[in-house]
Chains A and B, each alone.
Chain A
Amino acid sequence: MAKIIVLTSGKGGVGKTTSAAAIAAGLALRGKRTVVIDFDVGLRNLDLIMGCERRVVFDFINVINGDAKLNQALIKDKRNDNLYIFPTSQTRDKDALKREGVERVLDELKDNFDYIVCDSPAGIEHGAITALYFADSAIIVTNPEVSSVRDSDRIIGILASKSRRAEHNLEPVDVHLLLTRYSLERVKKGEMLSVEDVNEILSIPLLGVIPESESVLKASNTGTPIVFDQESLAGRAYIDAVARFLGEQREMRFVTPERRSFFRALLGRA
């Protein structure tokens, strides 16, 4: 029986889709059968980040409406056999996400996967609420910046009151913080909220800190989830976050200054 994970944030542009792609691919790398679903109806982008935009034939809304079968719409990743992408519609609007339809599709996916990763749209409207409604776990993607932290707090409140688990008085959604676009340099200069600051304000368990990294844009340019880039610090940080999600203890990296070796400094590589 699959576990449903939602990546959500309230605020747009904080790295939800990048993180959904990375976490889903990271789970697949750990041998978990994983599907990642794009809930951002009308603003489809997960397909581009995953590099399968030219293979989309049917989408989430087609399956909800019964116009296509699930196995016609699921796209198998070419890099990892455990990973599937479920694209959304680019032409419909978010009202096409009917809750009963979404539930039926999720139930069918549950039998075939270990993890269902839901990439939420920004905002707190219908699309975002539908994405988080069925979640067992939530990963709150947050930037160390005031508007993102405030919106994260709001979305944590919504998870606690409007999710299926809340409405049915079940065990609450288990929430995790993923702090992205973190710049240790700027934190040291006192120009950016530190991981401790954000932790103190939001007080939910920290899943990982992803350093701001040029490799993330390079990965999205080529349609490769960042965890497939072994060289990338951000990719390694996501791999660590996935391990923590699976219950492993891993020390937080990229949070305290690393000593740069003489040769690395010479080569100018962080």
Chain B
Amino acid sequence: MRLLDFLFPERRNSAGIAKDRLKIVLAHERASRDAPDFLPALQKDLLDVVGRYVEIRGDMLRVNVGKSGDTSLLEINVEIDGAKVKPARNGAAAAAPKVVSATRLDPGAMAPWVKPG
């Protein structure tokens, strides 16, 4: 058996794969389990507002509630890199910002994927 594993190292046992997949999916689901009920509605409203200025798809705006130490965070990540800017209305949104804005209750902790603009 050991020799087989040595000869065919890519053959992982399926129970190990099952365990890894479960850990990942459950970590994700547990994080969203405690999310307040208003998050989907908030996400929709934000999409409407941002959508007035740039063309944005639903998956480009993410709203999460998380924790950083003792502080609860409302984390809103909007990805507008490459999004087409809509014609300016009343002088608003003239220049397209290159990257992302991140609005949060706690300005201290930034998610690692967010580059400050």
A-to-B contact residues, CB < 8 Å = 145-146, 149-150, 153-154, 157, 187, 189-194, 197, 200-201
Complex Cα distance, B16 from A194, in Å, reads 10
**In terms of DSSP, what is the predominant structure of the interface of chain B?**
helix
User: Is B21 an interface position by the 8 A CB rule?
Assistant: yes
CB distance from A254 to the nearest CB of B (A): 17
Count of CB-CB pairs between chains A and B under 8 Å: 37
Given known contacts A149-B22, A150-B22, A197 and B15 CB-to-CB distance under 8 angstroms: yes
| Contacting residue for A193 out of B19, B25, B26, B33, CB 8 A | B19
| Contacting residue for A150 out of B16, B19, B25, B33, CB 8 A | B25
Task: Check A157–B15 contact: CB distance below 8 A.
Answer: no
**In terms of DSSP, what is the predominant structure of the interface of chain A?**
helix
Kindly list the 4 A-B residue pairs having the minimum CB-CB distance in the complex, ordered from nearest.
A190-B13, A197-B19, A157-B33, A190-B15
B-to-A contact residues, CB < 8 Å = 13-16, 18-19, 21-23, 25-26, 29-30, 33
Task: Check B18–A193 contact: CB distance below 8 A.
Answer: yes
Task: Check B26–A190 contact: CB distance below 8 A.
Answer: no
Residues of A within 8 A of B23 (CB): 201
Residues of B within 8 A of A157 (CB): 30, 33
Query: Besides A190-B14, A190-B15, 20 other CB < 8 A contacts?
Result: A145-B18, A146-B18, A146-B21, A150-B25, A150-B26, A150-B29, A154-B29, A157-B30, A187-B15, A189-B13, A190-B13, A190-B16, A191-B13, A192-B15, A193-B15, A197-B19, A200-B19, A201-B19, A201-B23, A201-B26
